Amino acid sequence: MIAVALSGGVDSMAAAILLHDRGERLMGISMRLQDDLPDQAHLKRAEELCRKLGIGYHLIDLSQAFDSIRGYFCESYLAGLTPNPCAVCNRDMKFGLLLERARALGADALATGHYVRREVFKDRYSLSRAAWKNSQEYFLGLLPQDVLRHAIFPLSDMSRPAAEDLVRRIGLDVPKQASSQDVCFIRGDYADFIRDVTGHRPTPGRIIDMHGRIVGSHRGALHYTIGQRKGLGMGFGRRVFVLDVDQRENTVTIGDRSEWPHHGFFLDDVNFMRIESLQTPREVTIKVRYKQEPLAATIHPTREGLWVDYPDLFAPGQLAVGYDPDGTILLAGFIRAPGRKRPDAGRTWNLMRQDDNGHRFLVSAHASKLEAQQALAALEGGHHKQMYWIEPV
């Protein structure tokens, strides 16, 4: 039995239709992340599709657990980091809690509408580019081996226009929707969202150059990310980039690309995909954002972790994905600039659970995120009637 994660959008519906046409035993499953996510129109389309295909449908409420994704998003920005909520949500929610609930309902695997290709090499599962130009393997770089073993991606050889035609073929409307890389839980400006969730209100501050000289003013450091070139609020007579954001000092540093002070970064919370570990330097290509062609880089194992020689701008906190020459993911992790402490340093993490009645309980407290993740992994497969997750204190 395959559970198909249905958002009510074109891609997930097309994935279900393809699997149904192949004669697979299916169920549809959707996750409710907040009151309007997905909205009723999308949920109605998911239900209608399941009726047309003659398969069961389940709606799973993960709204309380989703608080951890919103919290991660806000805390990252307030710490001067650039988060990647889509990658974290794919790991923790869709291929974490939703997969667990699907297996509790009798499914052996979870299929999604991602444009990505799954491969197996020497008993290790990995992801690579799909045929469609907007391949989404980057956003799935954090998926561990025990998840990839149960993951199915039917759209690996299909384009988005072909998926739309497939949905129209069975008499369903093709909805207009935001592309998958948009932050689904934010309507409007992300700084307004952070203000509404945390109460933090950005205040005007100084724009400085690499020598510390004041060259302008900004409307709040929260509105800026490293590498940003447009939307600086004023002209500088030349092409400049945001080279640093200091939330504590409320300053934004700008300069020429040639003034970028770093020659690489560390990788935190590394997920090894095609390779099991890295013991010697390795030539790879690296993506540090979704809409980017991979750049040549070298990864070195060091006492402080994996170091990436990288020749261009990067945003601390973002996801970096390393590829082999064939475009297959070798590993992925979060970017940490040299000299910057790990974002979870000095924090404690709780392992939480939610029972079938929606009540939240503390399972255990841990001194680091890694320890909490290890405790969570130890529970996988043995407690399908309850949901588990980790969250910072």
Q: CATH no. for residue 215?
A: 2.30.30.280
3-26 tens-digit pLDDT: 999 999 999 999 999 999 999 999
Asked, for residue 146, whether it belongs to a domain, the answer is yes
| Catalytic status, residue 89 | yes
Same domain, 22 and 150: yes
**Which amino acid does the sequence have at 374?**
Q
Alpha carbons 265 and 319: distance in angstroms, whole number:
12
Same domain, 123 and 10: yes
Same domain, 374 and 327: no
Asked, for residue 68, whether it belongs to a domain, the answer is yes
270-286 tens-digit pLDDT: 999 999 999 999 999 99
CB atoms within 10 A of CB 100: 21
What's the domain count of the chain?
4
Alpha carbons 290 and 321: distance in angstroms, whole number:
9
Same domain, 153 and 254: no
Range of the domain at 207: 202-259
| Catalytic status, residue 184 | yes
179 pLDDT exceeds 50? Answer: no
Of 50, 74, 86, 89, which one is the catalytic site residue?
89
Q: CATH no. for residue 305?
A: 2.40.30.10
Asked, for residue 110, whether it belongs to a domain, the answer is yes
Asked, for residue 227, whether it belongs to a domain, the answer is yes
37-55 tens-digit pLDDT: 999 999 999 999 999 999 9
How is residue 81 written in tokens?
């980091």
Look up tokens 């799935």; give the residue. Answer: 140
Run of H or E residues at 162: helix 160-169
Q: What is the pLDDT of residue 149?
A: 96
Q: CATH no. for residue 138?
A: 3.40.50.620
**Which amino acid does the sequence have at 378?**
A
Q: Helices (DSSP H) in 7-154: which residue ranges? A: 10-21, 40-53, 67-78, 85-89, 99-104, 145-148
Same domain, 161 and 298: no
Q: Report, as an integer, the average pLDDT of 120-148.
A: 96
Same domain, 23 and 48: yes
225 φ, ψ (degrees, to nearest 5): -130, 155
Look up tokens 């003013």; give the residue. Answer: 217
Give the pLDDT band of residue 391 (cuts 50, 70, 90).
Answer: confident
How is residue 230 written in tokens?
């447009």
Asked, for residue 373, whether it belongs to a domain, the answer is yes
- The model carries a pTM of 0.84
Percentage of the chain lying above the pLDDT 70 cut: 89
Alpha carbons 333 and 169: distance in angstroms, whole number:
40
Phi-psi region of 165 (alpha: psi -120 to 50; beta: other; left: phi over 0): alpha
Of 50, 74, 86, 184, which one is the catalytic site residue?
184
Same domain, 67 and 34: yes
Q: What is the pLDDT of residue 229?
A: 87
353-388 tens-digit pLDDT: 776 666 666 777 776 666 676 677 666 545 444 577
